[in-house]
Amino acid sequence: MRFRKMESIVEAVGDTPLVRLRSLEKDAPGTKIYLKLEYANPGGSVKDRPALQMMLDAIEDGRLTSDKILIDATSGNTGVAYSLFGAALGYRIQLVMPSNVSQARKDITEAFGTEIIYSDPMEGSDGAIRKVRQLVVEEPDRYFYADQYSNPSNPRAHYLGTGGEILEQVGDEITHFVAGLGTSGTCMGTTRRLREHSREIECIAIEPAEALHGLEGLKHMASSLVPEIYDPKLPDEILPVGTDAGWDMSDRLAAHEGLHVGHSTGANVAGALEVAKRPEASCVVAIACDRGDRYFAPMKWEKHYEW
């Protein structure tokens, strides 16, 4: 495990554990199912990898300097990651998010000194993207627009980290890899690294089955602004998963595996289990994006949205 001594919190990113889902495997006898616990990253999610990579790459080539503000559209985990690393590395962070994100979300990022700008809740994350673009066009010299949806450092983080780690952890056993599509960074980068392996590994992308869904962090591509880094031809297959299936699997992972994960992870694992039942599957690896406690609903008296 992680008996590491480090000079800065940024060194704690990556090298996440891979855990076998023995209870779930009963539904797919003969196939091993593993979950890579990205919530073990210091910011609590898979987004630590791309956020840090985007910042380090931009610092190295001069796009991010100490007089600039890092800005991006994010309602969640990427914002927590920018905020954490911004505090640790000494950069100012501004985030644009829909105004109906939970108070807890706002509080986590603000604890690190991040400033929040709100966008229209009816337009979801796409509204936040449009708003940030407008701000950057108005004052281009003031900002470093990290742009997680278009920044090649996002998939690069997974090409350099996640993909290689999986191969190191399961070796040649892996037959299938499953990851959800949000910015698509995890799926794109990890798949590219796995494709370099000597034997073929099927890479499957999970997407919400419907446009209006409750799998936060995942994108229904047909009805969304499609991320520039997304290459629809890269995955071997795109597997739709319904919101209810994802939510139910999150509950099951908590109750039977001791893994309290968010809904996007539930969707990934629901997809992984489906894949694990196929005759050609013998070892399936899926990604756990974050923990479930990030999605605890506010109490009634805390729930007040402004339009």
Residues that bind other proteins (CB under 8 A): 75, 98, 100-102, 105, 121-127, 210-216, 220, 223, 243-244, 247, 262-263, 295-297, 300, 303, 305, 307
- Whichever of 153 and 265 has its CB closer to other proteins, that residue is 265
8-state DSSP, 26: T
- Whichever of 211 and 238 has its CB closer to other proteins, that residue is 211
- Whichever of 139 and 244 has its CB closer to other proteins, that residue is 244
Burial state string for 170-183 with b = 16 or more CB within 10 A and e = fewer than 16 = beeebbbbbbbbbb
67 by Cβ neighbours in 10 Å (0-12 / 13-18 / 19+) ranks as: exposed
Q: Please state the closest distance from residue 223 (CB atom) to other proteins, in A.
A: 5
Phi, psi of 52 (to 5 degrees): -65, -40
8-state DSSP, 140: T
Placement of tokens 């630590």 in the chain: 48
Q: Please state the closest distance from residue 295 (CB atom) to other proteins, in A.
A: 4
Tokens of 217: 């962090």
Q: Please state the closest distance from residue 176 (CB atom) to other proteins, in A.
A: 27
- Whichever of 161 and 262 has its CB closer to other proteins, that residue is 262
Distance CA 202, CA 199 (A): 10
- Whichever of 3 and 301 has its CB closer to other proteins, that residue is 301
Q: Please state the closest distance from residue 14 (CB atom) to other proteins, in A.
A: 26
Tokens of 188: 């794109």
Q: Please state the closest distance from residue 147 (CB atom) to other proteins, in A.
A: 20
Distance CA 87, CA 42 (A): 13
